[in-house]
Amino acid sequence: MENDQLLNTVIARAKVWLGDGYDEETKAEVKRMLEAEDKTELIDSFYRDLEFGTGGLRGIMGAGTNRMNIYTVGAATQGLANYLNEAFSDLPEISVVVGHDVRNNSRKFAEIVANIFSANGIKAYLFDSFRPTPELSFAIRHLGCQSGVNITASHNPKEYNGYKAYWSDGAQIIAPHDVNIIDHVNRIKDLSEIKFNGDPSKIEIIGDKLDADFLDAIKGLSLSPELNKKYSDLKIVYTPIHGTGVNLIPRSLRNYGFTNIINVPEQDIPSGDFPTVESPNPENAPAMAMAIAKAKEVNADIVMASDPDADRIGCVIRDNSGEYVLLNGNQIVMILLNYLMTRNAELGRLTGREYIVKTIVTTETIKSIAEKNNIKMYDCYTGFKWIAAVIRENEGLARYLGGGEESYGFLAEDFARDKDAVSAISLMAEAAAWAKDKGMDFLRMLQDIYIKYGFSREEGVSVVRKGKSGAEEIIAMMKGYRANPPRQLGGSDVVTIKDYADLNLTDVPSGKITKMDMPVTSNVLQYFTADGTKISIRPSGTEPKIKFYIEVRGEMKSAADYDKAIAAATAKIDAVKKDLGI
């Protein structure tokens, strides 16, 4: 009975999309789903509305209320436009920047977004072609705009697309604007409320000049131009994995002085089909396979990649045996922050007003590096909008050196407010030149960090639970961990529990509870053990999964202890996973 009721509701919702106002292509797709014997696709497409959340929209492309298409994108833009006209009613002209990645339909969606803004009296700066996400963030600030929209699904599979909304500071939206925009989007109930017919006089195409300004700003981050020149022939293999980094990242590397940039021709072709990879995610080894093969062919010093919208960085280095191995996101952030802090100290640029930022699920080794260098460190929630919020709070008061998160994101600048693979890859190459000048490669540099600041090993585990029952199971799992927290993990007593849902920090031995200072609550749970193990658990905000972030500590007195430290940490991680039942 319940299934029949759901199907009847879905059919009724789908038939609305056969009416006036919907284009013929959409009608044909809906009609095909309605007539299909298997109604699974129809139900998936119409059983709910694609939710406009605090990060915007993300979903599979296609016809339907639960899909990314011109109508769901249109409703989101109309709601945002309504809110902008309300929030900035005192301005003579409101302006926004609209960008997009290489995905299928991204250009079409971006043009529709620009048209709707212009139809609502808002000036839209529209990029002439695909661009990295961080350049959109830069452009908002650079052009003095009030908002921005980027059409991208980051490193998701090719079936997906997304819609990211930004505020006037160049950061993705947070309170109070997030809930206000969501409210305005949810008010759009009818297709007739969306103003699709644009005003060409309100749309300005941008491109080359913004590229030059963005790259000039990134070049200004360089701390070792003389070393870049000295080691200009450093062999750097770079792949954009068919994405938006294809033009700007090699240009930025050349701006930094590096001349030996080796590409992967098959992956230099921008394509929303990502034809050479199953998933265009540089944190996964298969996505890096062609770049690693090229590195072996040319005997490269370092291999780097960006994801499709060029905000995440992937990096491969050589291990003790000469094999190319992936760095994890924590290691990339450690290397970059260590370089920025140490190099600033070498240059005498530290004044005591500097700070760095990491997210709560990112390695605690970064805290050790900051403390020993007398640099303030902030912990924030996962997501660069929270790193951007810390930068905003410190604007004019302290100097931002950099910030990052374990999910392969880093931001070295404050002129953009979202993670940036363009600057991160440029600075990673510079760090390699700096290390080489000290007689180190990246592996030895990483080992040096562990010797000085303590060894850590991290592993992420994602447990996928799809559909309505899966969502309920994830809720039940979080409730279970809260109601029955483990007493030990990996053979060490749990001594601290941080629950960000109510901001309670529990000292387990004494039972004392104190409140944590965070801007909002979040569905994240953390356990800390006596031996320094840290476990973070949170449901994903964009995918049907619950994520576990495991970090264990160890001892490493010399480079010779590296392999032994890894083996011991791996065994402890396995024990922790067993204790957690994952």
**For residue 457, what are its two tokens?**
């090993």
Beta strands 504-507 and 409-411, pairing class: unpaired
Backbone phi, psi, residue 486, to 5°: -65, 145
Strand boundaries in 418-511, DSSP class E: 455-464, 488-489, 492-499, 504-507
Backbone phi, psi, residue 418, to 5°: -145, 155
- Stated as kind and residue range, the H or E segment containing 31 is helix 24-35
Residue with tokens 């700096």: 434
Spatial contact of 487 and 494, defined as CB atoms under 8 Å apart = yes
- Stated as kind and residue range, the H or E segment containing 220 is none
442-453 helix and 421-437 helix, angle to the nearest 10 degrees: 90
Distance CA 429, CA 257 (A): 10
CA distances, 293 to each of 27, 73, 322, 559 (Å): 46, 40, 13, 27
Amino acid at 498: K
Distance CA 435, CA 346 (A): 13
**For residue 348, what are its two tokens?**
């005498």
Residue with tokens 């922050």: 337
Strand boundaries in 428-529, DSSP class E: 455-464, 488-489, 492-499, 504-507, 512-515, 525-529
Distance CA 207, CA 244 (A): 13
Spatial contact of 257 and 225, defined as CB atoms under 8 Å apart = yes
Distance CA 320, CA 569 (A): 18
How many other β-carbons are positioned within 10 Å of the β-carbon of residue 298?
A: 12
Distance CA 78, CA 75 (A): 5
CA distances, 205 to each of 114, 125, 136, 141, 470 (Å): 10, 6, 13, 17, 44
Q: Determine whether 154 is an active site residue.
A: yes
Distance CA 112, CA 196 (A): 7
Please enumerate in sequence order all residues whose Cβ is within 8 A of that of 420, keeping only pairs 6 or more positions apart, or say none: 132, 134, 137, 310, 311, 410, 411, 412, 413
Distance CA 354, CA 418 (A): 19
Amino acid at 23: D
Distance CA 290, CA 277 (A): 9
Residue 314: helix, strand or coil by DSSP?
A: strand
Distance CA 22, CA 432 (A): 54
Q: One of 137, 154, 224, 536 is an active-site residue; which one?
A: 154
Residues known to be catalytic? 154
